[in-house]
């Protein structure tokens, strides 16, 4: 996180609320991921934070990209230095995977000239891809355990492993090529057994596919879910990486291409919000502070991501448990009901670290309040 002195200086210079993105931390997080998982090519999950400046930093550092909408696809294409290439390459798989299993026909039509790599998990999607994006390569997404993950995804996406090879054969019968398998263990996954079980399921499906003649299935996308270190209860990433490396060696041949879709892990710790105290009251025996950012803006992850962000004061002094509210007229706009804060005055600044993932990306203009201004440092 940027130093408190720098955060206060930036707030004085640009005003608040202010969303500070530290690109040195972005690069450090990506380097850590690649060092700990050298067999895995990281495809940054753009949905975690789709700011173009972040895309450019990750691209320059050697990352690829996981997109889940045509808007995210355009963001990546518009912000990588040498795209489009002078000569159309056959595939863009080394740069982008469209990892949303459900796509509308207009999206598929726009993607098709790029011969993209796209995920699917059902028969209807096979027929849709065949009609609107016949030049796409396919990745079959499996349903795997999401036990203990903060945000589970298994109820919405993923083919049952028992149906997987039949779906591979259905795609082949439609004239499409399934290049590999993918899974997602759920966001902020602190239960490492999810990965072990998912890898075992993928290994079983892949071997059955090979036995039926589908030897082209050689890509494994292990999805995202890599936990950000929000607090001391989150086990270190190096422990998960050690487990994954061992499973890769045990289960898969050295020439297997392995991808991953880290989002939260790469951006969460790289961003800090600075806000201003705009109101102060005592209600039912509790001190209440109102700040100029809330759950309809940078703190949106409280609602959408099941995440809690601490609100910290620059001012020192004895603390008491306080309520912290956002600026809108909605009572839902509650950031915390038990935040330890010192005595604050109107105009004082507060900050929330580790708020880079699924936060600013979900900001709205509810009540007419704009999203926080963004400032980039160490670009």
DSSP secondary structure, 236-274, as one string? PHHHHHHHHHHHHHHHS-TT-EEEE---HHHHGGGEEEE
Q: Are residues 175 and 30 in the same domain?
A: yes
What's the pLDDT score for residue 93? Answer: 60
- Interval 70-86: pLDDT, tens: 999 999 988 886 555 54
pLDDT at 252 exceeding the cut of 90? yes
pLDDT of 146 higher than 80: no
CB-based burial, 205-223: b 16+ in 10 Å, e otherwise: bbebbeeeebeebbbbbbb
From 267, 294, 316, the end of a domain falls on: 267
For residues 208-213, average pLDDT: 95
Give pLDDT, residue 151: 58
* 14: exposed, middle or buried (Cβ count in 10 Å: 0-12, 13-18, 19+): middle
Q: Can you give the CATH number for the domain in which 167 is found?
A: 3.20.20.10
pLDDT at 79: 87
**pLDDT at 150 > cutoff 60:** no
User: Domain span at residue 85?
Assistant: 23-267
Looking at residue 233, its pLDDT comes to: 83
pLDDT on residue 163: 93
Looking at the structure, do residues 218 and 293 belong to the same domain, yes or no?
no
**Could you tell me the pLDDT band of residue 362, with boundaries at 50, 70 and 90?**
very high
Q: Averaged over 274-302, what is the pLDDT?
A: 96
CATH number of 345's domain: 2.40.37.10
> What confidence score (pLDDT) does residue 154 get?
60
To 10 degrees, the CA torsion angle through 168, 171, 173, 178? -70
Asked if residue 36 and residue 14 are part of one domain, the reply reads no
In this structure, the answer to whether residues 132 and 46 fall within a common structural domain is yes
pLDDT tier, 88 (very low <50, low <70, confident <90, very high otherwise): very low
Residues 77 and 113 occupy one common structural domain: yes
Percent of the chain with pLDDT over 70: 94
Alpha-carbon separation of residue 227 from 110, 264, 268 (angstroms): 33, 7, 10
Residue 186: predicted pLDDT: 79
- In degrees and rounded to multiples of 5, residue 352 shows phi and psi of -130, 115
> Mean per-residue pLDDT for 161-184?
95
Work out whether strand 149-151 and strand 137-141 pair parallel, antiparallel, or are unpaired: unpaired
Residue 90, pLDDT > 60, answer: no
- Shared domain for 368 and 261, answered yes or no, is no
Residue whose C-alpha is closest to residue 184's, from 246, 133, 119 = 119
Is the pLDDT at 256 greater than 60, yes or no?
yes
Q: Report the C-alpha gap between 145 and 149 in whole angstroms.
A: 9
Mean pLDDT of 126-143: 95
Same domain, yes or no, for 138 and 279? no
- Asked if the model's pLDDT at residue 274 lies above 80, the reply is yes
85 shares its domain with 156:
yes
Residue 182 burial by Cβ neighbours in a 10 Å radius (0-12, 13-18, 19+): buried
> Quick one: what percent of the chain has pLDDT higher than 90?
80
| Closest by Cα among 81, 79, 73, 157 to 122 | 157
Whether 236 and 297 share a structural domain: no
- DSSP reduced 3-state for 15: coil
| pLDDT, tens only, 25-58 | 999 999 999 999 999 999 999 999 999 999 999 9
DSSP 278-312: EEEEEETTEEEEEES--TTTGGGHHHHS------E
Continuous segment of H or E residues that includes residue 140: strand 137-141
pLDDT-derived band of residue 14, with 50, 70 and 90 as boundaries?
Answer: very high
Distance CA 374, CA 267 (A): 14
Cα dihedral angle (257, 261, 262, 263), rounded to 10 degrees? 160
Average pLDDT over residues 289-294: 98
- Read off the pLDDT band of 89 (50, 70, 90): very low
Please compute the mean of the pLDDT values over residues 151-179 and round it to a whole number: 87
Residue closest to 116 by CA, chosen among 88, 156, 147, 144: 88
Residue that terminates a domain, selected from 236, 267, 298: 267
Mean pLDDT over residues 175-194, rounded? 87
Mean pLDDT of the chain: 92
Verify that 187 and 329 share a domain, yes or no: no
Q: Are 277 and 190 within one domain?
A: no
Catalytic center residues: 329
Length of the chain: 379
- Exposed/middle/buried for residue 164 (C-beta within 10 Å: 0-12, 13-18, 19+): buried
Residues 263 and 330 in one domain: no
Q: Where are the alpha helices (DSSP H) in the chain?
A: 4-14, 23-36, 52-60, 70-79, 105-111, 123-132, 161-173, 193-211, 237-251, 264-267, 301-304
Count how many domains the chain has: 2
Q: Which of 267, 293, 322 is the last residue of a domain?
A: 267
């Amino acid at each position: 996180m940027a130093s408190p002195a720098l955060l206060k200086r930036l707030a004085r210079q640009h005003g608040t609320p202010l969303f500070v993105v530290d690109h040195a931390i972005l690069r450090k997080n990506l380097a850590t991921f690649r060092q700990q998982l050298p067999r895995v090519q990281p495809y940054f999950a753009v949905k975690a934070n789709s700011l173009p400046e972040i895309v450019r930093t990750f691209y320059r550092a050697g990352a690829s990209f996981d997109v889940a909408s045509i808007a995210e696809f355009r963001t990546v294409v518009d912000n990588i230095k040498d795209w489009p290439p002078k000569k159309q390459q056959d595939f863009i798989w080394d740069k982008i995977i469209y990892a949303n299993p459900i796509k509308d026909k207009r999206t598929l039509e726009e993607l098709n000239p790029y011969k993209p790599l796209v995920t699917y998990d059902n028969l209807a999607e096979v027929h849709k891809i065949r009609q609107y994006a016949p030049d796409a390569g396919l990745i079959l997404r499996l349903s795997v355990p999401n036990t203990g993950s903060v945000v589970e995804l298994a109820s919405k996406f993923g083919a049952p492993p028992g149906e997987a090879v039949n779906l591979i054969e259905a795609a082949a019968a439609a004239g499409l090529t399934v290049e590999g398998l993918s899974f997602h263990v759920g966001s902020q996954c602190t239960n490492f057994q999810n990965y072990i079980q998912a890898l075992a399921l993928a290994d079983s499906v892949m071997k059955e596919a090979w036995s039926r003649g589908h030897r082209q299935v050689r890509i494994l996308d292990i999805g995202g879910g890599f936990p950000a270190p929000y607090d001391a209860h989150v086990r270190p990433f190096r422990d998960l990486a050690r487990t994954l490396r061992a499973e890769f060696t045990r289960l898969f041949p050295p020439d297997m291409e392995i991808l991953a879709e880290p989002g939260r892990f790469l951006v969460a710790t790289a961003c800090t919000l600075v806000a201003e105290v705009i109101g102060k009251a005592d209600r039912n025996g509790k001190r209440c502070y109102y700040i100029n950012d809330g759950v309809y803006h940078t703190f949106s992850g409280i609602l959408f991501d099941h995440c809690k962000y601490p609100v910290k004061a620059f001012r020192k002094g004895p603390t008491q448990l306080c309520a912290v509210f956002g600026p809108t007229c909605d009572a839902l706009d509650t950031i915390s009901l038990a935040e330890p804060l010192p005595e604050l005055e109107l105009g004082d600044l507060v900050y929330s670290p580790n708020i880079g993932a699924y936060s600013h990306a979900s900001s709205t203009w509810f009540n007419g309040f704009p999203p926080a201004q963004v400032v980039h440092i160490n670009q």
